[in-house]
Structure 1
Amino acid sequence: MTKPTFEYQKPKVNNGAMRTPVEFFQYRPRKGPEPGEQEKQIIFNCFAEIYNPSMKDLEILNSKTTKQAVTLTIRDPQTGYIVSNKHYVEVMDRRYSGIRWNIVDVRNDFTDNRFITILLAVYGDE
């Protein structure tokens, strides 16, 4: 009698899990003679699945002082928007209202090409 073999299968992400609206934005230079940046310019918005960081994500954050972190998965916008760590994210959920998230890590899924996983964090010095 042979034993059944079990192979690991990746969890399936689908549109039903992507319920939380998120906005990707950057800051524009302030108008006038004063230096600095102030005005928020929204670059891209979509729905995402948000969850707590995995052990792999926590290892990436290990070298930085972070107050809070989340991981999100979005549909790959292809050429409509390229995710950059120079941009910020706002999660449109009451539990995260008013938090400006920094993009720490972007993982493209080259085998599936449908989704992008993004690690977000709020640093301790902000």
Structure 2
Amino acid sequence: MKFESNRSKINSGELRVPATFYEYRPNEGTLPGEDVKHILFKCFVRVDEIYKSQLEQAKANNTLHDVTVTMRDPLDTYMPDEKHRFELDMRGYKGKHFDIKRVQPDSKNFGYLTLIASVQS
């Protein structure tokens, strides 16, 4: 008897959306806000579907967009954290910098990370 797993496997063909990760710094001088300090990492990600419950959660959190992305674990090259932001080169998301809210290993796919992020309103 052969054991077969029901796990969903991600293949590299699903990582189609270019993403750029940034580090920010406060604006110099008296102007409020932040500015891009430098680019930390570039890779391809998978943008997961947005469900109605996620839209309701975004409204409750006072955010414009909540998004869940999956990326290949870059190991020692780069580790995303809550201080970083990223931009997706995809229609509908271009020009929006997402604040990372949570980074966790993908429980279904070893070697991948799941990022939950939002754009504040």
Above 0.5 in TM-score?
Answer: yes
Provide the rounded CA distance (Å) in 2 between the counterparts of 1:107 and 1:123.
Answer: 21
Q: Which structure would you say has the larger Rg?
A: 1
Q: Secondary structure at the match of 1:16?
A: helix
TM-score, normalised to structure 2, is: 0.77
From 48, 52, 62, the equivalent of 1:51 is: 48
Indicate yes or no: 2:117 matched with 1:120.
Answer: yes
TM-score, normalised to structure 1, is: 0.75
The amino acid that maps onto 1:82 is M
Change beyond 3 A, Cα 1:81–1:51: same
Q: CA deviation at 1:52?
A: 2.5
The amino acid that maps onto 2:86 is V
Moved over 4 A (4+): 53-63
Q: Look up the match of 2:35.
A: 38
From 69, 73, 77, the equivalent of 1:72 is: 69
Q: CA deviation at 1:9?
A: 1.8
The amino acid that maps onto 1:14 is N
Tell whether the 8 Å contact from 2:9 to 2:108 is kept in structure 1 after alignment. Answer: no
Q: CA deviation at 1:122?
A: 1.2
Query: Number of aligned pairs?
Result: 116
